[in-house]
Amino acid sequence: MNHRSFTFIDKTVFKSGNLLFFFFIIACLLSRLNSGFFFIDILGQLGFQIVIGGVILFFILLFLKRFWASVICVFICVLFSADILLSCNHCKDSIIDEFQIRNKIRLMTFNISYTNPVSNFENIREMILSENPDVIQFQEISPKMQNEIKTLKSVFPYSTNLDKPLDLFDSVILSKYPLKNIKVVNNYIVKTNVILDETELTIIGTHLPAPLTSRLINLYLDLELKYTNATRTLPPSMLNLDAAIKLMQNLKTLADNTNQNLIIMGDLNMTPTSKRFTNFLKDTNLYTYVSYKRPTFTWPAFVPSFLGIQIDHVLFSKNFRMIGKKTTNHFGSDHRPLIVDLAF
């Protein structure tokens, strides 16, 4: 290889480094905007991954001997990380003294997936019985899987809408404890009160649409329906980012009308780094717990956990304290079940 070839390769690598640096800065800036445009919203969901990308870019710039660019890269990473951490000031610490605990409840939210073969349910049943939650919220239940879930009634005798025909995005809540004031608000939201000993808890189960355009959602759902018998009655215009923003307003109204002991759980299709997510916590005065030391990434379940994102959540009012949080085996779903222990 002659000198001219080396010069060409050097220039190409150098220009590639400049291009990566430019895209990194743009991604950082756009991801911190609270925008209704789906591409910007998706960037906001990937805050953790952008920081990791910035660290990798730092070493690439060092290798290319771009000293000042590498310094700027580190500076941006620090500022970006600080903004993420400070914006999530409604993420409570999980430490609580045992003597302060009067009541505990174990919650599970599980997007079981329409395309999940019903043959996986026996493993799912064993997982549920082993984890022993008090309340479960399911999303994306196919008709065949719905029949299997009904067999859990011996353990969870109370449910919201399990005996009714379900749409693709319907949520269902199962409970060991009595339920009252059951209200299916719409295809995305179900609300009920759980009677735990002498305490009444309000639990809202939801499944918000993904931050995509109607066209992309339509392509995705057509593919899903090709391999499942699930029913689809909602048009694509009800399944996009705009619909998700409107539904968050519905959730905020429900939260405002609940005095205390409120829990919202489900597949929110938002990560903790999203501006929509952190603003929603502030607007509703709800909390959650995010640990970057022991992350509970829930999607996609078919990749190693550290490569995923957390879009399934349990949010709670200020009189609760999270004392445990973990994920477990997904058994055919594209989501890992999220299990949360709350004390109050």
Report which residue type is found at 322. M
pLDDT attached to residue 76: 83
The chain-wide mean pLDDT, for the chain, equals 81
Average pLDDT rounded to a whole number, residues 303-320: 86
Among residues 326, 334, 344, which one has the least CA distance to residue 131?
326
Residue 275, classified by CB atoms within 10 Å of its CB into exposed (0-12), middle (13-18) or buried (19+), is buried
Name the band, by pLDDT with cuts 50, 70 and 90, for residue 176: very high
CATH hierarchy code of domain 98-343: 3.60.10.10
- What is residue 172's three-state secondary structure? strand
Q: What percentage of the chain carries pLDDT values higher than 90? A: 28
User: Which H/E stretch holds residue 277?
Assistant: helix 275-284
* Predicted confidence (pLDDT) at residue 121 exceeds the cutoff of 90: yes
Which DSSP category does 257 fall into?
T
Q: Report in angstroms the alpha-carbon separations of 6 from 3, 18, 132.
A: 5, 18, 63
Q: Which residues contact 214 (CB under 8 A, 6 or more apart)?
A: 236, 237, 239, 240
pLDDT value for 52: 83
pLDDT digits (tens, 9 = 90+) for 4-52: 444 645 556 556 767 787 888 887 777 777 666 666 777 777 777 788 8
Bridge partners for 342 per DSSP: 105, 322
More confident residue, 275 or 1: 275
Which H/E stretch holds residue 48? helix 47-63
pLDDT band at 206 (very low <50, low <70, confident <90, very high): very high
Tokens of 10: 């050097």
- Going by their DSSP bridges, the two strands 312-316 and 158-159 should be labelled as unpaired
Q: Name 327's bridge partners.
A: 338
pLDDT surpasses 70 at 94: no
More confident residue, 220 or 82: 82
Q: Which distant-in-sequence residues (6+ apart) come within 8 Å of 156 by Cβ?
A: 136, 174, 175, 176
State the amino acid at position 154 in one-letter form: S
What pLDDT score does 35 carry? 66
Please write the tens of the pLDDT for every residue from 253-277.
Answer: 888 888 778 999 999 998 888 888 8
| pLDDT of 123 strictly over 80 | yes
- Write the pLDDT tens digit of every residue in 135-173: 999 998 888 899 999 999 999 999 998 888 887 778 999
What is the enclosing helix (H) or strand (E) of 52?
Answer: helix 47-63
3-state secondary structure 211-228: CCCHHHHHHHHHHHHHCC
Q: Average pLDDT in the 62-71 region?
A: 81
